[in-house]
Amino acid sequence: MNHLIVFLIPRNSKSCISYFSNFNKMVAFIVTIFVFKIFRNFFIMIKLYFWHSYSKRQNKFSMKKIFIILFLFSFFINCKKEKPKNITEKTIEIAPITPEMEDNAVIYEANIRQYSPEGTFNAFTKDIPKLKKLGVKILWLMPIHEIGLKNRNAKPDLSVDDITDSIEKKKYLGNPYSIKNYRSINANFGTKADLQKLIKTAHKNGIYVILDWVAHHTAWDHAWTTQHQDYYVHNKEGNMIAPYDWKDVVALDYSNPNLRKAMFEEMKYWLTNYNIDGFRCDLAAEVPTDFWESTKTELNKIKPVFMLMQAQKATLMANAFDMQYGWESHYIFNEIVKEEKTAKDFDKLIRKNDSLYQKDDINMNFTSNHDENFWNGTEYERLGNATEIFAALTYVMPGMPLIYNGQEYDLNKRLPLYEKDTIAHAVGKMMAIYEKLGKLKTENKALHGGKTPASYKRLLTSNDDNILAFEREKNNKKVIFIGNLSKTNKTFTIPVEGVFTDYMLGAKIEFTKKQKINFNPWEYKILIVE
C-alpha cells in the first residue's frame, strides 16, 4: 500500500512542494490552496480532502496520474515568479494641523549639526520622545540641505579659500543657510531614509515637523547660477551679486515669475516626498509678500501647513504666515535686565500687539535661538540670573514658546555656525522647569496662545515699574503671573485675594488685597486659580 501527502505551499514560500510517500499503503491525503488576488493579495484557502483505498494496479495508476496533475498544478501556481513590487512603508499618519494644536503648542528648534557628538539625524531621532515630555508639538529643523562649496565662509569675515592650512580648512563645514540644492540632504547628517525616520518618529509622538527654508538666496554653486542666471539679482555690469556683505550666497530675483514657480516646486517637493508639515522662512520680509501668500494657498491644497517667518510684520501675517518672531518682546527682556526698560514697557508692548495684529496672529516667544546664541550670546550672557523668569514668561504670556536646542540642558556656550561643536546633554536645572512649564501650557486653557488665545489683563500693583502682574483666562480657567523684573528685592501690594496653587512649587499660597508681599530679585509666581 502506498501513503501519499501533497502540500500546496502559498506564494513566495521558499519551498513549493513537500511530499512524503510510502508505497506500503495506498491512502492519499491532498490539500490544495487556490490563490485569488482580491484587493491586496488576500488568500482564500480551499481544502480538498481525498480518502480512498485501492487494491488493484489500475487504481494505483490512476492515483499516480492524480499525483502528477496535482504536482504540476501546484508547481505552476505556487512557484511562479512574479515581478518585484515596490513596497512603500506605510506612512505614520498625524492629524492635520489645527488651531487647537497651535493653542497649546511648544516649538523646538533643532540644530542637527550641533545637537549631538555625531551630528546626525539618527542621533537626534533617539531623543524625540524627550521632546514630547517638554510639551513640544512643532519641531523646526534648521537647514538640512547640501551646503555650497564655492565662496564658503569659515567665519562671517573669513573665506575658507583664504585659509592656507589644509587641516584647518577641513573643520569649516559651511553656513547652513547657503543652499546648494533645495532637494539634496547634507550627507554629514545622514541619508534620506534617516530623515524620513526622523519625521515619522516625530509624527508618531504627535510632533509636526517644519523645515527651515531659505528663499531669499542660494549658494554660488547652486545649479540655477549656471542654468537660470535670470533667477538672480544682477548689478549694472550684469553680474550676479551677493546680498549685503554675505559673500557665500547670491540674491534671488522675485520679479521673475519663473523663479517663483521653481521655488514653489522645491517647497512642494518636501510635502509630497517627506510629508513635511510646513516651513520656517528665513528673511521672509525680504521676499515679496504675494509670493508667500500664493505659496501658502497652493501648499494648503496639498495638506494644511504651518508657516513661521523670521520677521515681525503685520502685512505678512494677514494671509501668508501663521506665526512670527516675537522680536520686540525678546529685546525688551534684554533691555529690562540692562535697566533700560521696565515692566511697564512689557505691558505697553502687549497692548501695541493687540492693536496692530489680528487676534489669531501668533507671536513666537523666546529667550534664545540660533541667531541670538551665535551673534549676541547665550541667555545666561544676556539675562544672567533673570534667565528662569523670562523663560517662564515666554510660556505664560500670549504666544507660543520656543526652546532652542540645548536650553533644556542649561546650554551656556555659543554654538558656532560654520563648524562642528556639540551640546552637553547633562540634565541640570532647566530640564525640570521646561517640563513643568510645558505641562501647564499643554493642559491649562488659560495659557492658550494660538488662533483662539486666552485673554490677557494687566493687574496693577503698588510698584508697576518693577512688578509685572497679569491674568490669563479662557473657558473658566484662570492663571495669574506675578514677577519681580528687577535686580533688587521689592515689596508691593496687589489687588488679588484668595487661596491659590503656586504651580512651580506645588503648594497652596494665600493673598489678601492689603498684604505686603516681598519678592527677591527675579522671583516669580504662577498662580492657578481654583
Indicate which CATH number applies to the domain containing 500. 2.60.40.1180
Residue type at position 468:
L
Predicted confidence at residue 530, as pLDDT, reads 83
Predicted confidence at residue 20, as pLDDT, reads 36
The radius of gyration computed from the CA coordinates of the chain, to the nearest angstrom, equals 32
Burial degree of 175 (CB within 10 A; 0-12, 13-18, 19+): buried
Does residue 242 belong to any structural domain of this protein? no
pLDDT-derived band at 33 (thresholds 50, 70, 90) equals very low
271 and 186 within one domain: yes
363 and 315 within one domain: yes
Q: What is the total count of domains within the chain? A: 3
Q: Is the pLDDT of residue 412 over 60?
A: yes
Predicted confidence at residue 93, as pLDDT, reads 73
321 and 467 within one domain: no
What are the CB-based long-range contacts (under 8 Å, 24+) for 296-300? 296/320, 296/321, 298/264, 298/268, 299/267, 299/268, 299/271
Predicted confidence at residue 513, as pLDDT, reads 87
Does residue 231 belong to any structural domain of this protein? no
Q: Is the pLDDT of residue 61 over 90?
A: no
427 and 462 within one domain: no
First to last CA, the chain: 88
Does residue 88 belong to any structural domain of this protein? no
pLDDT-derived band at 92 (thresholds 50, 70, 90) equals low
Q: Tell which of 395, 426, 452 closes a domain.
A: 452
Predicted confidence at residue 77, as pLDDT, reads 40
Q: Is the pLDDT of residue 515 over 70?
A: yes
498 and 414 within one domain: no
Does residue 247 belong to any structural domain of this protein? no
Residue with cell 484662570: 478
Does residue 93 belong to any structural domain of this protein? no
390 and 434 within one domain: yes
Question: Average pLDDT of the chain?
Answer: 88
Predicted confidence at residue 91, as pLDDT, reads 52
d(CA 284, CA 497): 46
Q: Is the pLDDT of residue 57 over 80?
A: no
Q: Tell which of 430, 452, 474 closes a domain.
A: 452
Adjacent-strand bridge partners of 365: 401
CATH at residue 338:
3.20.20.80
pLDDT > 90: what percent of the chain? 82
Residue 238 is placed in which grid cell? Answer: 550684469
Q: Is the pLDDT of residue 39 over 60?
A: no
The region of weakest confidence among 142-151, 161-170, 298-307 is: 161-170
Residue 150 is placed in which grid cell? Answer: 564655492
410 and 290 within one domain: yes
315 and 197 within one domain: yes
**Is residue 91 a contact partner of residue 123, using CB atoms and an 8 Å limit?**
no
pLDDT digits (tens, 9 = 90+) for 95-136: 999 999 999 999 999 999 999 999 999 999 999 999 999 999
Does residue 232 belong to any structural domain of this protein? no
> Which residues span the domain enclosing 375?
101-215+254-452
Predicted confidence at residue 7, as pLDDT, reads 38
Q: Tell which of 418, 433, 452 closes a domain.
A: 452
Does residue 239 belong to any structural domain of this protein? no
Does residue 140 belong to any structural domain of this protein? yes
379 and 261 within one domain: yes
510 and 422 within one domain: no
492 and 379 within one domain: no
404 and 479 within one domain: no
Phi, psi of 128 (to 5 degrees): -60, -40
Q: Is the pLDDT of residue 42 over 50?
A: no
Q: Is the pLDDT of residue 233 over 90?
A: yes
Q: Is the pLDDT of residue 444 over 70?
A: yes
More confident residue, 74 or 441: 441
d(CA 339, CA 384): 13
Residue 519 is placed in which grid cell? Answer: 519678592
pLDDT-derived band at 26 (thresholds 50, 70, 90) equals very low
